């Protein structure tokens, strides 16, 4: 199927397994290589290219056991969800991300200190850790297909969803799928992060 002919309804979304980890981390690194928040965390482009694979591998390793990572044929896009019943060792994950960040660890700590307190803890929800598409495959419906695969279940079961959007383009995508901006966090001398919530549609 040609890229230009893809529609979200035609995309098959499946659960990612251990065999998908390398391709998934490579894809996410490419997808976030120019992301405003990642660029703020890792200002030097060369260091960013070196760090992002380990950054995402750390997240994937922590979340894969909870069966919430989705991908598409070819591995051109993927989404990391944390289901409502997942018990994640957040302190260990944060420590591992800081360790992977090397000289830029202080910026990553600042990001977490500003964003983490806004994450709701009083209502069970699906948490979208990250959603990415290879640059050459963006704007062809893969991200929408990945969102719909989980949000349709959220609507069916009455489950809300939460995420942090790190770019204007991502924010627009999430707004189209029913998310609303709950609060905007401004990074010091950096870009905004939009904390977004979605109530299930009845």
Write down the domain spans for the chain.
Answer: 13-198
Rounded percentage of the chain residues whose pLDDT exceeds 90: 90
CB contact at 8 A, 165 and 194 = yes
Name the nearest CA neighbour of 68 among 6, 161, 140: 161
Q: What is the rounded distance in angstroms from the CA atom of residue 80 to the CA atom of residue 150?
A: 11
Q: Encoding tokens for residue 92? A: 């260990």
CB contact at 8 A, 77 and 134 = yes
CB contact at 8 A, 198 and 165 = no
pLDDT tens digits for range 134-177:
999 988 899 999 999 999 999 999 999 999 999 999 999 999 99
pLDDT class of 11 with cuts at 50, 70, 90:
confident
Q: What DSSP string describes 143-155?
A: HHHHHHHHHHHHH
pLDDT at residue 120 greater than cutoff 60: yes
Q: Mean pLDDT over residues 36-56, rounded?
A: 96
Predicted local distance difference test score (pLDDT) of residue 6: 52
Per 3-state DSSP, what percentage of the chain is helix, strand, and coil (rounded to 5)? 55, 20, 30
Least confident window among 65-69, 76-80, 85-89, 91-95? 85-89
Predicted local distance difference test score (pLDDT) of residue 3: 47
Predicted local distance difference test score (pLDDT) of residue 139: 85
Q: Which CATH architecture has domain 13-198?
A: 3-Layer(aba) Sandwich (3.40)
Q: What is the rounded distance in angstroms from the CA atom of residue 74 to the CA atom of residue 11?
A: 11
Name the nearest CA neighbour of 119 among 194, 169, 28: 194
Least confident window among 2-6, 68-72, 118-122, 128-132? 2-6
Model-wide pTM > 0.75: yes
């Amino acid at each position: 199927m040609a890229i230009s002919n893809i529609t979200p309804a035609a995309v098959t979304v499946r659960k990612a397994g251990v065999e998908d980890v390398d391709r998934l981390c490579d894809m996410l690194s490419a997808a976030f290589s120019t992301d405003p928040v990642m660029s703020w965390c890792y200002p030097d482009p060369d260091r960013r290219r070196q760090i992002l694979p380990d950054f995402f591998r750390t997240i994937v390793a922590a979340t894969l056991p909870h069966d919430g990572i989705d991908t598409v044929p070819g591995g051109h896009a993927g989404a990391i969800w944390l289901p409502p019943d997942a018990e994640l060792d957040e302190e260990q994950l944060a420590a591992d991300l800081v360790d992977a960040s090397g000289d830029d660890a202080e910026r990553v700590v600042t990001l977490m200190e500003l964003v983490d307190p806004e994450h709701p803890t009083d209502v069970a929800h699906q948490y979208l850790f990250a959603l990415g598409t290879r640059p050459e495959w963006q704007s062809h419906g893969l991200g929408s297909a990945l969102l719909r695969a989980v949000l349709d279940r959220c609507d069916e079961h009455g489950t809300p969803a939460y995420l942090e959007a790190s770019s204007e383009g991502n924010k627009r995508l999430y707004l189209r799928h029913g998310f609303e901006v709950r609060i905007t966090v401004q990074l010091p001398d950096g870009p905004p992060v939009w904390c977004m919530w979605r109530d299930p549609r009845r």
